[in-house]
Amino acid sequence: MTDSARSHPASTTPPRSATEHAPVAVPKPRRGRNKLRDLELVLVLVACAINAAAILLVQLGAGAALGGMQLVLGLVLAALMVGVHITLRFVAPGADPFMLPVTALLGGLGIAQIYRIDLAVGLTGWDSTANRQMTWTGISLAACILVLVFLRNHRVLFRYTYLAGAGAVVLLLLPLVPGLGKAENGAQVWIGLGPLSFQPGELAKILLAVFFAGYLVRNRDSLATVGRSFLGLRFPRLRALGPILVFWLLAMGVLVFQRDLGTSLLYFALFLVMIYLATGRPGWVFIGLALFVAGALLAGRFLPYVQARFDNWLNAFSDSAYNATGGSYQLVQGIFGLANGGLIGTGWGQGYPDVTPLSQSDYIVASLGEELGLAGLFVIFGLYLVLVARGLRVGFAGQDDFGALLAGGLSFALALQVFIVVGGIMRIIPLTGLTAPFLAAGGSSLLSNWLIVALLLRLSDSIRNRPRLVIES
Amino acid sequence: MIRPFRRVTLVVFGMFVALMVASTLIQGVFADELRQDPRNVRTTLQGYDVRRGSILVAGEPIAESVPSGDMYQYKRVYPQGPLYSSVTGYFTLNAGRTGIESAMNDELSGTSGSQFFDTLNRIITGQSPQGDSVQLTIDPKVQQAAWDALGDYRGAIVAIEPSTGRVLAMVSKPTFDPNSLTGTDGSAVDAAYQALVDDPGKPLDNRAIAGDEYHPGSTFKVVMSASALSTGSYTTESAFPNPASLQLPQSSAVITNASGTQCGPGDQVSLLNALVLSCNIPFAELGMSLGRQQIGTTAQAFGFNKDLSIPLKVTPSIWPTLQSDAQTALASFGQEDVRATPLQIAMVSAAVANHGVLMKPQLVDSVIAPDLSVRSGFSAEQWATPVSPQVADTVRDMMVQVVSRPDGTSHLAAIPGVDVAGKTGTAENGPGDPYTLWFTGFAPANDPQVAVAVVVEDGGSGTSYDLTAPMGKQVIEAVLNR
């Protein structure tokens, strides 16, 4: 398929016929065996077995007795996991068979590591982060099933492009509402509802991707029109710069008002990548990057917290940064932890991941790297890569531009999040407050990333089913 | 849309490759270095959880891990306490670690690269981890002699074997008892540590290799003699004008000999007599005609301005950048900004003793695995060749006369029946400050067993002549009598 084959006039309708908007008749389960789903079932069971073994290893390593709570929660999770699989058999039989097991495995490794640190610091019952994480995983799986059941055709989302955009902005603003917002670790990104706290920005990520995809599919022709060329690059026309400036301002707003460098970077890069995917014009990326770097440099000059982040990054090992309040202590201890793990890791229960602050959430990757070593980290990177590659594959093979763009954006968002988190821990880039998808302790992040997987599953199903539907209709 | 997707896919792969490279650097390439960082509390915690290897001297542990009977599995004890603290350093829960405990930490804790397969084996078989033991080159008799010789003075003594570079003794005083820092009661350890940090005597400094460093004073004249003879233009009989005082060029400074008079009788004084009587003026004249370039070359060949780890990090001794002849003149008898560690001065003697070949000083004899097999043994390493054998032997003969002649400044270091080579030094530190007193030397001159350097910071009314030279003699005797 080429670009021209899928080009279409700028309009408010997605490609292909508008009649397909309404939930289309569910393709009946194929007769005979569905090999994709059989493969998925085997892989899901393998993932559950590995996860159970991981918990067991933690038990052995830390020398603690398995509580009844973990056993019940673990069984419920395994059941829910199989539940998602069964749901897929009925409502998305053509969905990618690797996404669910890979995600399940990542989540399980995260829970095992969180549980191990719980044991080290002596948290049990509902105080135990692992138990809460397992509960959140259950909620996320249920949400995943609901999305798959009720969203039968992803192109319904196209209709709600602007609603999604407005929703994202509202979610982003919520933490700034007095009385509702809560500041944690310096960032104003939480809302508190009684004892619960939630990070609405995590959900905003998905809504933004939906909005970008819809908006870009509608307007990409005007955005792709070439303006003047400079330094061998063809830049877009000036008047088409409006939207990019708006999102630059949005990203800078997040940076200034919510003091959240990572999220700001994530949103803006997501926008840039999606505009590039839609228009094929690298000029946009260069303009965008220049704007962001300029903004970040200005912020580094005038916002003390951004400046501190840069100092901690560049001079992490200097005594002054190390001993400063809000200095590089966490970064350096995380690196010491990784070094302590070495090539094969200390083994679960044998390292000291709890020395590093936030070892269960922001620093879960350092904790895993310490106890599972370089070998374990490479496995985790590999799992992420499989997930992201399967998501991008939807973009390569996608039937409609909206779906392709959405899949590309969501997959890239996952990959970028991993890069920002792990790159921060490993001193490739300044440390930010993002969390590693599926691994880190935290309900909002877990829920939103599982929703991304639900959407990717739905999108991947459309690749296989679309032609058959056309033939059937 | 396919092409942009391809490129974005490439970017995603690029990001993951970056992560893999970074993690490989941290967990593979630089892992050992990061583990050694004293701020790395994990390494320390591990030392309390695994059976850390012992530090041995002649087969006897001077640091060992014993079951602690509390929340930690093991605690570190130092059976001889302060005697070896300059070598072992300390190993604390919260205040880092120093000395061999830090430099050989990977081996002691069982995490070094050479123990990789052992680690793997332990993970599979479920054995509890155990570190290697480190056998030192220190000779307990020499260490004890050095400790006794220094008495309650503030200073340091280093003894090395010239032909191999083995460090036989290393003492720095005042010092501390490492046992006071190894308890598992955090607040008690913190208090003890803070008291040591606040102590004006700086007991945590290892003056032998890494203190504030000292003006080498007249001991530097050995380097000067070697430098002059190396040019080929000087012999031991080369004569220098012999005034009672010397006005330095383009300067108001006037220098005198330590005696305040001429350097022996006559208008001229030979290089040999200048060294034996330790006169400043002839060496200042020699320095100005040799030039700062030539002296610097020799000093650096002896190890000044060079990094060295034995494997404790040795602070490089300093041969400064000199601006004028006046400064060169002062530097020529070890004043101005010339600075040296006692180990450096011992190395100068050792190189002269070893016919001009400077062996790398080393503290570690061997690393011994828990099953008592030797993982790595001692191998002597040639570090530099500062002077030719002829020059070295000539300087040696000059240094022997410094001790053997009754008017020699070091004659109190003489041992009956043995040719001892030596040189004292008395360095000025500024108005009102006590002199730094030195002795360096080696023996027997024809078959050197030991080269020694002694420094005393607070000699009071003592001089290098009657205080440090006898100290050096005691250490040399300990080696010759063993």
- pLDDT number for residue B42: 80
B218 is catalytic: yes
The whole-number average pLDDT for the span A359-373 is 89
Percent of chain A clearing pLDDT 90 (strictly above): 21
Percent of chain B clearing pLDDT 70 (strictly above): 93
- Is beta strand B167-173 parallel, antiparallel or unpaired with respect to B155-160? antiparallel
Confidence of residue A31 (pLDDT cuts 50, 70, 90): low
* Contact status of A401 with chain B (Cβ, < 8 Å): yes
Confidence of residue A22 (pLDDT cuts 50, 70, 90): very low
pLDDT digits (tens, 9 = 90+) for B9-47: 999 999 999 999 999 999 988 888 887 777 777 877 776
**Look-up of token digits 């800078």:** A252
| The two structure tokens encoding residue A147 | 């999305």
Q: Do B39 and A322 touch (CB under 8 A)?
A: yes
For residue A188, pLDDT beyond 70:
no
- B372: closest CA of chain A, how far (Å): 24
d(CA A450, CA A136): 10
| The two structure tokens encoding residue B341 | 């560690």
- pLDDT number for residue B52: 84
Number of residues written out for chain B: 482
For B323, residues 6+ apart whose C-beta sits below 8 A from its C-beta are none
pLDDT digits (tens, 9 = 90+) for A407-449: 999 999 999 999 999 999 999 988 887 888 999 888 888 999 9
Q: Which H helix or E strand runs over B343?
A: helix B342-353
pLDDT digits (tens, 9 = 90+) for A390-403: 999 888 876 788 88
Q: Which of A1, A6, A374 sits opposite B23 (nearest CB)?
A: A374
Residue to substitute from B3, B7, B11, B15, interface A, most A β-carbons within 10 A: B15
Confidence of residue A21 (pLDDT cuts 50, 70, 90): very low
Cα-Cα-Cα-Cα torsion A218, A222, A223, A229, nearest 10 degrees, comes to 160
Instruction: State which residue of chain B sits closest to A337, comparing Cα positions.
Output: B42
Better-scored residue on pLDDT, A338 or A191: A338
Whether residue A401 contacts residue B2, with contact meaning beta carbons closer than 8 Å, is answered with: no
pLDDT digits (tens, 9 = 90+) for B238-275: 989 988 888 888 888 888 888 778 888 888 899 999 99
- pLDDT number for residue B357: 95
d(CA B219, CA B216): 6
- pLDDT number for residue B210: 87
All residues of chain B having their beta carbon less than 8 Å from the beta carbon of residue A283 are none
Q: Do A277 and B4 touch (CB under 8 A)?
A: yes
Q: Do B12 and A388 touch (CB under 8 A)?
A: yes
Q: Which of B12, B31, B45 sits opposite A415 (nearest CB)?
A: B12
d(CA B269, CA B389): 25
Confidence of residue A232 (pLDDT cuts 50, 70, 90): low
Q: Do B31 and A339 touch (CB under 8 A)?
A: yes
- pLDDT number for residue A230: 64
Instruction: Determine which of A136-150, A225-239, B391-405 has the lowest per-residue pLDDT on average.
Output: A225-239
For residue B399, pLDDT beyond 90:
yes
Neighbours of B266 (CB within 10 A): 11
Nearest to A117 by CA among A368, A444, A330: A368
Whether residue B225 contacts residue B399, with contact meaning beta carbons closer than 8 Å, is answered with: no
The whole-number average pLDDT for the span B187-213 is 88
For residue A109, pLDDT beyond 60:
yes
Taking CB atoms and an 8 Å cut-off, how many pairs form between chains A and B?
A: 137
- Is beta strand B436-443 parallel, antiparallel or unpaired with respect to B450-456? antiparallel
d(CA B170, CA B205): 13
All residues of chain A having their beta carbon less than 8 Å from the beta carbon of residue B22 are 422-423, 426-428
For the ranges A185-194, A340-349, B145-154, the one whose mean pLDDT is highest: B145-154
Instruction: Determine which of A273-282, A363-372, B416-425 has the lowest per-residue pLDDT on average.
Output: A273-282
- pLDDT number for residue A77: 86
Strand, helix or coil for residue B221 = helix
Catalytic hit among B54, B218, B225, B410: B218
Q: Exposed, middle or buried by CB within 10 Å (0-12, 13-18, 19+), for A365?
A: buried
Angle at A181 between CA A177 and CA A186, to 5 degrees: 125
| The two structure tokens encoding residue A246 | 């708006």
pLDDT digits (tens, 9 = 90+) for A263-291: 888 888 888 898 888 888 888 888 888 88
* Contact status of A181 with chain B (Cβ, < 8 Å): no
For residue B405, pLDDT beyond 80:
yes
- pLDDT number for residue B45: 74
Whether residue B133 contacts residue B53, with contact meaning beta carbons closer than 8 Å, is answered with: yes
Interior/surface letters A39-75, b for 16+ CB within 10 angstroms, e for the rest: ebbebbbebbebbbebbebbbebbebeebeebeebbe
d(CA B224, CA B227): 5
For residue A18, pLDDT beyond 50:
no
What single-letter amino acid sits at B255? Answer: I
d(CA B354, CA B272): 20
